Amino acid sequence: MKTSTAVLSLSLAVSAFAQVQPAGVTQPIVEKCGSNGSVVCVNKYSAVLPYHFNRSISNNKADYDYRNTSVGNASTWDLLGPADFVVFDRERGLQYLGDSPSYEFMFPVSSAVHEAPIYAPKQNLLFISQLAPPTGVLPQLVVDLNQNPPTLSNYTPNPPIYAPNGGTFRNGELLFAASGGIDELGGTEQRVSLRTVDPATNKSTVLLNNYFGFYFNNMDDVVVHPTTRDIFFTDPDYSYFNALTDTAPQLPAASYRFDPATGAVFLIDDTLMQPNGIAFSPDGQTLYISDTGAVYGTIAPGYGGDGTQFNTTAPRTIYAFDVTNNGTRVSNKRSFYLAQDWVPDGLKVSKEGLVLTGSGHGVDVIDDVGQLIMRIQTNYTVQNFAWTGENLSTLWLMGNNGISKVEWNITGQTLV
């Protein structure tokens, strides 16, 4: 009898204690800090949260964003839910948002991955791919920015390009990293390859489709070095997990440089589990590559199309590297940023040197030492994004189920 009373009073004491805030909470934790509720500021990065708090682990069916953290006795936390912009560094965040930031949901799209955005400035068109196993020739998409409001239509270059997973503008052309492999699609064999499209004619050409006879696994994201114009790309294994290629991986997951003038391919890194987003600082001296190994599958033959799982403790990190010797030596790999949501998928660096990554339901904006300045919040998983417009100051975001657009004071690097 005595013992059970003691246990009961102890458990009451523990639960009462659990309700009490720890000393050190900065109040308010979240507050409105723009002209309306679409911008909120998180004070001191919510470095101390009231107990009991708990953020559920995301899985393939549900992404529990930062705003979905349950926090005891912190009513201001609810301001995060509907906000379009969450600012962590108030001074720089509000400056980078500018006077009248806006977020607009533009087009509902299918639940397929939407990727490889490329802005063609002369035509004022934004090309976007969609990835799903083929049902004939799966079209890509194009947003016509000459229309007001912009319109979304299907797009198929000639010959068609199967499953572009990465894209960038290069020498006046669209450069796609095509991630699919199949014997016949759109009247031609398709293997994982670098492809170009002239936006004036929509004619496509192949630049690279093998490594000494081996198929690449899944060219994923692609970027052009700002001064040498060499092409850098990542080659993870997702096409096999997601049934976009009919062959099991023949090469280790790795990242490469390609010199289109000589045709030579150079390995630049083979230490990441699933290398994914890739981007250069404006001076071309820092290379960022994300590892999304937290989303993984089985590469052995016979497992193609079995899909992916999420492992919260596996890699979901952006790494930085030094690039020296006129863009030919990639060294000094270092950890740069651990995605605070899901995995860091699409990766781009702004003209100001800010590193942006699509991670779960939004885009994180990070400075060049890895400090999260702010986040765009979306209601769908963002795979990638691209700047458009005369001054490259509009950011278009795309992913599963949505395409949206942001106006702000962060601009894209000059298109080369």
Q: How far apart are CA 158 and CA 245, in angstroms?
A: 21
Instruction: Work out which of 67, 195, 257, 316 binds ligand NAG, going by CB under 6 A.
Output: 67
Q: Does the protein bind ligand NAG through residue 112 (CB under 6 A)? A: no
Contact 173, 181 (CB under 8 A): no
- Per CB under 6 A, the segment of 176-184, 213-221, 280-288, 307-315 that binds ligand NAG is 307-315
Q: How far apart are CA 318 and CA 314, in angstroms?
A: 13
- Per CB under 6 A, the segment of 96-104, 186-194, 250-258, 331-339 that binds ligand NAG is 96-104
Give the up-direction half-sphere exposure of residue 245: CA atoms within 13 A in the CB hemisphere: 28
- Per CB under 6 A, the segment of 184-192, 275-283, 362-370, 385-393 that binds ligand NAG is 385-393
Which residues have a Cβ under 8 Å from the Cβ of 17 and sit 6 or more positions away? none
Q: Does the protein bind ligand NAG through residue 228 (CB under 6 A)? A: yes
Angle, vertex CA 91, rays to CA 354 and CA 42, nearest 5? 95
Nearest approach, Cβ of 183 to ligand NAG (angstroms)? Answer: 27
Q: How far apart are CA 339 and CA 292, in angstroms?
A: 10
Q: Does the protein bind ligand NAG through residue 124 (CB under 6 A)? A: no
Q: Does the protein bind ligand NAG through residue 155 (CB under 6 A)? A: yes
Q: Does the protein bind ligand NAG through residue 146 (CB under 6 A)? A: no
Q: Does the protein bind ligand NAG through residue 310 (CB under 6 A)? A: no
Which residues have a Cβ under 8 Å from the Cβ of 342 and sit 6 or more positions away? 58, 63, 294, 310, 316, 359, 360, 361, 381
Nearest approach, Cβ of 43 to ligand NAG (angstroms)? Answer: 13
For residue 187, give the nearest of 136, 258, 117, 121 by alpha carbon. 136
Instruction: Work out which of 3, 91, 99, 414 binds ligand NAG, going by CB under 6 A.
Output: 99
Q: How far apart are CA 197 and CA 223, in angstroms?
A: 15
Q: How far apart are CA 114 and CA 383, in angstroms?
A: 7
Estimate to the nearest angstrom the gap between the alpha carbon of 153 and the chain centroid.
23
Q: Does the protein bind ligand NAG through residue 62 (CB under 6 A)? A: yes
Q: Does the protein bind ligand NAG through residue 81 (CB under 6 A)? A: yes
Instruction: Name the residue nearer to ligand NAG (CB basis): 215 or 393.
Output: 393
Angle, vertex CA 224, rays to CA 218 and CA 229, nearest 5? 130
Nearest approach, Cβ of 142 to ligand NAG (angstroms)? Answer: 5
Nearest approach, Cβ of 96 to ligand NAG (angstroms)? Answer: 6
Q: Does the protein bind ligand NAG through residue 35 (CB under 6 A)? A: yes
- Per CB under 6 A, the segment of 17-25, 207-215, 274-282, 366-374 that binds ligand NAG is 17-25
Q: Does the protein bind ligand NAG through residue 326 (CB under 6 A)? A: yes
Q: What are 89's two structure tokens?
A: 């560094």
The label of the residue with tokens 């030579």 reads 264
Q: How many residues bind ligand NAG (CB under 6 A)?
A: 43
Contact 87, 371 (CB under 8 A): no
Q: Does the protein bind ligand NAG through residue 105 (CB under 6 A)? A: yes
Q: Identity (one letter) of the amino acid at 306?
A: D
Q: Does the protein bind ligand NAG through residue 307 (CB under 6 A)? A: no
Q: How far apart are CA 179 and CA 247, in angstroms?
A: 12
Q: How far apart are CA 278 and CA 272, in angstroms?
A: 12
Q: Which residue is nearest to ligand NAG (CB)?
A: 81
Q: Does the protein bind ligand NAG through residue 20 (CB under 6 A)? A: yes
Q: Does the protein bind ligand NAG through residue 202 (CB under 6 A)? A: yes
Contacts with ligand NAG by CB under 6 A lie at 19-21, 27, 35-38, 54, 56, 62, 64-65, 67-68, 73, 81, 95, 98-100, 102, 105, 108, 125, 142, 155, 201-202, 228, 311, 313-314, 326, 352, 379-380, 389-391, 401-402, 409
